[in-house]
Amino acid sequence: MSTKLPVGILGATGIVGQRFIQMLEHHPWFEVAWLAASDRSEGRPYAEAARWRLKTAIPANVAKMTVAPARPEGAPKIIFAALDAKIALELEPQFAAAGCAVVSNSSALRMQSDVPLVIPEVNGDHIRLIETQPWRRKSGGFAVTNPNCSTIGLVLALAPLHRRFTLETVMAVTMQAVSGAGYPGVASLDILGNVIPYIGKEEEKMEEETQKLLGTLNGGHVDPAPFAMSAQCNRVAVEDGHTESVAIRLKHKAKPEEIIAAWNDFRDEPQHLHLPSAPEQPILYMTAPDRPQPRFDCDLGAGMTTAVGRLRKCNVLDWKFTVLSHNTIRGAAGAALLNAELLKAKGYLG
């Protein structure tokens, strides 16, 4: 008999839901026990309900599972949520109120003051916000979130610099993969041979999430990091991997070799605790002049390592560089999974 913890997936048929299933297939701690999706899918075998868009096959046990109604009754106590924001806003509180640990990839609750927005290598201490949640007191349930897929790679690259040199200004321009928009998502007639210079609410998310993630836990809320932050978001004809052109100003001046060392040496709790999904090296600086590139580098560290490259002087701020992160692994399913692993290691999952 399995001694793994049973987990459920809300939004199991979408692109991120599929990544959860893929990443959980051989997970040492968790196993998929329950799947829910939209009404349309309810009651059907998963393999029929989902339009599977990954290169590996649907795990055999999951393929046969029946998609359950998206209600807490009968659901396991650990729930990975990959829902659209609007539905998440309705459903996630229901599951937390029912006593579930809701580990969410949705934007719905991210900026709520008592909900931790966490990248385990960056601000694992924010998890303590859970204790301030009313759900926690009443039912034991709670909600923890991870950032937007375009935020997470950026913040991983910023965190070690902020710790050592203190950020004053951040500007980021993204070139985001189509898988970030879900399925069916971006129409081929919209993106073949094209760039779309707009992704709804994405810039706002990147700006406010970055400051919360790098902010300071202060009792029952987080004081956002005080640096100025501006984002511009574009969609490009790439399947997986968000690329970002970044410029920063630092308070304490740094040499390029110090910045690169800050990236390559960066380790934190997930590495110290040997969490199963933690990459050995969260950030890898690539020395080739034309890297990182999404098609070749987004699978580094099984998609959990953020690649950085092209560090060079900026005429306006101090430094410019390129960041690449796998948007549905490190930027979504893997982000939530690592959050769950940290929660387990800290004793929040019973």
Contacting positions for a copy of itself (CB under 8 A): 15, 53-55, 169-171, 173, 175, 178-179, 183-198, 207, 228-230, 232, 234, 236-239, 243, 245, 247, 289-296, 299, 309-310, 314-317, 320, 322
Q: 342 is written with which tokens?
A: 């940290």
Question: Is the CB of 113 or the CB of 188 nearer to a copy of itself?
Answer: 188
Element (H, E) at 171: strand 167-176
Task: Say if strands 242-250 and 167-176 run parallel, antiparallel, or are unpaired.
Answer: antiparallel
Nearest of 134, 238, 231 to residue 185 by alpha carbon: 238
**CB of 197 or CB of 347, closer to a copy of itself:** 197
In angstroms, the CA 147 to CA 205 distance is 8
Q: Which two tokens stand for residue 167?
A: 């950020």
Confirm whether 314 is a catalytic residue: no
Produce one character per residue of 108-135: b if its CB has 16 or more CB atoms within 10 Å, e if not.
bbbbbebbbbbbbbbbbebbebbebbeb
**Shortest distance (Å) from residue 334 CB to a copy of itself:** 17
Residue 346 CA to residue 236 CA, distance in Å, equals 39
Out of 149, 233, 298, 326, pick the active-site residue: 149
For a copy of itself, the closer CB: 205 or 310:
310
Query: Which residue, 77 or 330, has its beta carbon nearer to a copy of itself?
Result: 330
Q: Which residues sit opposite 80 in a β-bridge? A: 9, 103
| Nearer to a copy of itself (CB atom), residue 15 or residue 337 | 15
Catalytic residue among 233, 242, 298, 326: 242
Token output for 258: 């110090």
149 catalytically annotated: yes
Provide the annotated active-site residues: 149, 242
